[in-house]
Structure 1
Amino acid sequence: TASPASPDYTSLGAAAAAPSSFGHKPNSARPVSALLEEAAQMKTEGNAFYKDKNIRSAIGRYHRALLVLRTIDSDVTTSVKGFGPKTPVLTPEQEALMRNTQVDCYNNLAACLLQKKSVDYARVQEYSLRVLKWRPGNAKALYRAGVATLEMGDADAAKEYLIQASKEQPNDANVRKYLQRAEEKLNQELQKEKAMYRGMFSSGQNDRSGDGINQTRRAGDGV
């Protein structure tokens, strides 16, 4: 089983062998099958760029694939119903192929962003959550959502994502490593919270003691 830290290289059969039409403007008047093939080819080329560590080009191909699929995704077009061309009706097989390609592209975009020197963790989280909307048990998306959420400072939510990822991939070292980091961060936060409350309690005790001394002195002054 592939590690959730690695990108998806799922083959899409004949679609992966289709000639590249990169640079061709998507048009919903084109057959759905042609758009699905184009998106699959873009994803395949993105995977090749990723393997060659050409992250920028890989990101471009994945984005291109997603743009092509937007023209046939009813989830996207229903929000702007009445504008532009009507969304074609997809067969169950076409719907599944579209979702699989979207899942792979968003997962792989998150993987690409994590390879950059300056990581946009908010974007990694966004892409991972899009995958989880369609595939709640996707180990790669759970892992990357956990990593991004932890880096953004929410160790509690990160732990939940990573616990779910560990259930899907119990032997994955990266999942275990970040789950341990999340637990350590939560423990540190708990210790800080305890220290803060101890300080507040101690300060309150001192204030009350001081008030008593001052009252005694004021009473003595009057004698």
Structure 2
Amino acid sequence: MDKRLREAQLYKEEGNLRYREGKYRDAVSRYHRALLQLRGLDPSLPSPIPDLGHEGPALTPAQESMLHATQTDCYNNLADANVRRYLQLTQSELSSYHQKEKQLYVGMFG
């Protein structure tokens, strides 16, 4: 239990580092990995397959607080990193489009 919470925290911190470096795709990957570590630990979520296996692990209040804080941070950071990644791609595509437009203009009138 604690191991998975710590691993999730490490992935989140790695994601934050990649985000600060402008490596949004890598950041998204790290946030997803963090959330995968937390999957199945949240006692407030129903089991995907009811009545199969044991109940989810019991969490202390501190662990539950850490779990929810990490989940919230990861989802928020994931959304932001995806938007920034999209904007990067859009800017790249626009730049490419303008370059082609300029070449066409020069070819027609140049």
Aligned counterparts of 1:83 and 1:102: Cα–Cα separation in 2: 25
| In 2: Cα distance, 1:46 partner to 1:62 partner | 6
Letter in 2 for 1:92: P
**Superposed counterparts of 1:1-223, under 5 Å:** 32-117=1-86
Deviating beyond 4 angstroms after TM superposition, the runs of 4 or more aligned structure 1 residues are none
- Larger C-alpha radius of gyration, 1 or 2? 1
Instruction: Kindly indicate whether the alpha-carbon contact (under 8 Å) linking 1:77 and 1:87 is maintained by their aligned counterparts in 2.
Output: no
Q: Is the 8 A contact 1:42 1:62 kept in 2?
A: yes
1:70–1:76 CA contact under 8 A, matched in 2: no
Structure 1 residues not aligned, in runs of 5+: 1-31, 120-223
Q: CA RMSD in A?
A: 1.8
Residue segments in structure 2 that go unaligned for 5+ positions in a row? 89-110
Normalised to the residue count of structure 2, the TM-score between the two structures is 0.72
> CA 1:38/1:77 → structure 2, altered by over 3 Å: closer, same or farther?
farther
Provide the aligned length of Structure 1 versus Structure 2: 88
Deviations 1:174-206 (A, max 9, x none): xxxxxxxxxxxxxxxxxxxxxxxxxxxxxxxxx
The Cα of 1:91 is off from its aligned counterpart by 0.5
Structure 1 length-normalised TM:
0.37
Measure, in 2, the Cα distance between the counterparts of 1:38 and 1:117. 28
Contact 2:31 2:78 in 1 (8 A): yes
Q: Relative contact order (alpha carbons < 8 A, sep ≥ 6): 1 or 2 greater?
A: 2
